[in-house]
Amino acid sequence: MNHYQQLQLHFARLNDLGHVQAIAGWDEAAMMPTGGGEARGQALATLEVIMHGMVTDPRVGDWIEGASEEQLDPWQSANLREIARSYRQSTCIPADLVERQKLVTSRSEQAWRRYRAENNWQAMAPLLQEVVTLAREEAAVRADATGLSRYDALLDTYEPGMTCARVDPLFADLKGFLPDLLDEVLAGHAAEPLLLPEGSFSVEEQRQLGLELMRTLGFDFEHGRLDVSHHPFCGGVPSDVRITTRYRTDDFVAALMGVIHETGHALYEQGLPANWRQQPVGQALSMAMHESQSLLMEMQACRSREFLHYLTPHLQHAFAAADPARPAWSEDNLYRLYTRVKRGYIRVDADEVSYPLHVILRYELERDLMEGRMEVTEIPEAWDQRMQQYLGLSTAGNYSDGCLQDVHWPAGLFGYFPTYTLGAMTAAQLFATARRDNPELLQQLGDGNFCALLGWLRDKVHSQGKLLDYDALMTQATGDTLQAHYFRDHLQQRYLGL
């Protein structure tokens, strides 16, 4: 075998271990009894060290150097580029740090599930401090290796090439217009009273409706499933995608939209290039692109007036408590329900107008944490200050709905949050282009027909894997790099009729 073939075989084996890791991680979140936590954490830490050792094997460096002199086609060249990136990112991190981080974050994440439910910041803070200490250690090592700032070095692991210098102007623009837009939309909502559908909506009723809509969107149940977890997520691998949601019997909106959101992620995974799934080039491009696929389905497509026309009779028939004759179950009222804008505490339940403000809050705090400008003990107060500034709400003493609501920091995922809003902007630009390319797209969604939309995404995004970088893929798909005006135009059109 030549050098490239050696790399391909090596990373195919590494992908197999990643498959096992992904399913074990899903099981930990969705199925594992609490007593299994310590042993699972140790097992995952061991697997993480083994995988890190494979990526940093000195032979990989030699193979990369040799393969760079060989004749490769465009996909192979892109795969070599991604392998080299993975090698650089991994060789700068000591194996003992990898193991320590996995043990600490596993323990912290499992404790978070308990302490969030108890509103117990005092018990969670010491565990989070351990996570932050190791994340800072990782950030310092990556910064030394890349020449980036500490936070940029972490952000780059989720969104290659992205830096605070690019994020800050985008977020400053959002902070400049979103608060006023939020006020204007809320004033308009006050003139349109919303009727809340009443009743107890059983978990089974909600689950069956979610499964039905997953089929409508194009989810392949031969290669995936739906379950329940404390925090909705999409995991697994392209051939076995696991998505989760969480249910409340007094509210069917959050769970259903959670299912649609995670289905968007899953469709991306199921559409990745089949011939390259065992290689780095066959993986999802970036976290912002991944988030764009979930938000495109949840926000752009499935909160449209046209889709609510399709969804209304399904909602009316799904729940025993539903009475189609009552005004609360009318199409107009249900549309207002699904496009309701309000100031809320919970990010994952936020509407698309206020959601970016939730993300900006987290971005600013985690950036200061990693750069040493803030300590863990200061998080609750800083969180409360920014919630009041951006959303007019106080979380003083309410840790469960404040700084303990997300799993990301207990899991050590610093640098991740900005990708959510970058994803929302990406989704708006992709959906606007898909509508331009297919003027009948919204009408098709009104018929519950997602074939054309999913086909467009398969062609423009999913099947591309990591063949192109983010800017190149956006230019190829939409004719331009990421532009903020698509997102602004979408919000103004939907919520102000402009």
pLDDT in tens, 109-137: 999 999 999 999 999 999 999 999 999 99
Dist CA 9 CA 69 (whole Å): 18
Average pLDDT over residues 339-357: 93
| Residue 262 falls in the annotated catalytic set | yes
Average pLDDT over residues 394-403: 98
- Note the pLDDT of residue 190: 84
Angstrom distances, CA of residue 13 to CA of 9, 239, 277, 398: 6, 16, 12, 46
- Note the pLDDT of residue 269: 98
Under the banding of pLDDT at 50, 70 and 90, the label for residue 230 is: confident
pTM: predicted TM-score of the whole model, two decimal places: 0.91
Average pLDDT over residues 310-330: 95
* Percent of the chain scoring above 70 in pLDDT: 100
Mean of the per-residue pLDDT values for the chain?
96
**β pairing state of 240-245 and 224-228:** parallel
- Note the pLDDT of residue 429: 98
Residue 498 above 80 pLDDT? no
Under the banding of pLDDT at 50, 70 and 90, the label for residue 404 is: very high
Average pLDDT over residues 310-322: 96
Dist CA 457 CA 301 (whole Å): 13
- Note the pLDDT of residue 189: 86
- Note the pLDDT of residue 355: 94
Dist CA 362 CA 25 (whole Å): 24
Average pLDDT over residues 359-375: 97
- Note the pLDDT of residue 497: 85
Residue 373 above 80 pLDDT? yes
Active-site annotation holder among 28, 48, 159, 262: 262
Which fold would CATH assign to domain 165-496?
A: Neurolysin; domain 3 (1.10.1370)
- CATH 1.10.1370.30 in the chain: give the residue spans: 165-496
Dist CA 104 CA 131 (whole Å): 6
